[in-house]
Structure formats: C-alpha cells, structure tokens
Copies of this chain bind each other. A is one copy, B any other.
Amino acid sequence: MASNRADLAAMMYPVSRALMAAELPILRTHEISMWGYAVLNTLVEQPIHTQSALAKEIGADKTRIIPVLDELQERALIERTPDPDDRRARRLAVTDAGRALRDAVQADIQRGEDRLLARIPAADRTAFLRALALLAELAPEEISYLS
C-alpha cells in the first residue's frame, strides 16, 4: 500500500531539531543554555518542589539538571527555599529577574518563529498551532500506536 504522506515522526523530528538549532544563537545572546531556558520556562508556569520533579518535567537527567540550577541560582534567576510542608524538599521558583530573562528570550524566539510561520497560509497556520498544542498536551504514553 503506497501512502500519499510521509510518516509524522519523519516529518516532525527533523523540523523540531532544526527549530532547536535556530534557538541557539538567541540563547547565546542572552547567555543562557537550552536547559537553563527550559527550567525558567517551567518555573514561570509553576513553582516546583523537588529537583527530580523538575528534571522529569523538562525531560532531563537529574544529575544534568543540578549544575544548571546552581548556575541559575548564582545568577539570581531562580530561588531554592525550604518547603514549609516538607523539610526535606526545597521549593524551586523563578525570580523577577529570571522571569524577565525568560520573557526576553521567548520574545526573540517567537519573533523568529513568527517569520517562519508566515510561510504557512494564515488559515492553515492557526489550525497548525491549535493541533500542535493539542498533541503537545498529550502525555507521552497517550501517543501510542498499540491498539
């Protein structure tokens, strides 16, 4: 059976790699790493109470994330404070400076993305973003082809 479209992963994976590569010069300009930016993005959404919860949230190794958090804290972009509900846990939260940096990086990235998205006809563009957001909201285990 010949198909008239490429597989989703075959289309999406190279594009997503290229999108990440396109972010690198912007991240460098703002002196923040991809993981650092991912941490700030996650903490802007909500404070997180353990380093392993944060690592899981951004799909990173826990050992990988600790030096990233150390550096963000040194630069006063995040705070680690004792969790009042659990003495062993520490609350990770973004500072105002961290939020401002994240907003500046995101504005630059999304300006670039908007230029890229302008290649897509306007009607398709809105539907594309809506469908992509829907897929991105699924838990990884919901993306399964086993019936």
Contacts and interface: CB of A to CB of B under 8 A. Distances in A.
A6 B109 CA distance: 10
B10 A107 contact: no
Interface size class of A (residues with CB under 8 A): 35 or more
Contacts of A11: 132-133, 135-136
Contact of A16 (B9, B119, B133): B9
Interface string A61-84: 000000000000000000000000
Nearest to A135: B15
Given A14-B59, A112-B145, 9 more contacts: A7-B113, A8-B132, A9-B16, A11-B135, A12-B15, A15-B135, A15-B143, A18-B140, A119-B138
Interface of A: 1-3, 5-23, 25-26, 38, 41, 59, 103, 106-113, 115-117, 119-120, 123-125, 127-136, 138, 140, 143-147
